[in-house]
Amino acid sequence: MKARVYVTLREGVLDPQGEAVRHALGTLGFSGVNAVRQGKLIEIDLAATDRAAAEAEVKAMCEKLLANTVIERYAVEIA
Please list the residues that pair with 7 across neighbouring strands: 40, 74
For residue 46, the model assigns a pLDDT of 97
pLDDT in tens, 26-37: 999 999 999 999
> Rounded to a whole number, what is the distance in angstroms from the first to the last CA of the chain?
6
Q: Which architecture does CATH list for 2-78?
A: 2-Layer Sandwich (3.30)
pLDDT in tens, 56-79: 999 999 999 999 999 999 999 999
pTM assigned to the model: 0.88
The Cα–Cα gap between 19 and 23 comes to: 6
**Band of the pLDDT at 23, cuts 50, 70, 90?**
very high
**Domain layout of the chain by residue ranges:** 2-78
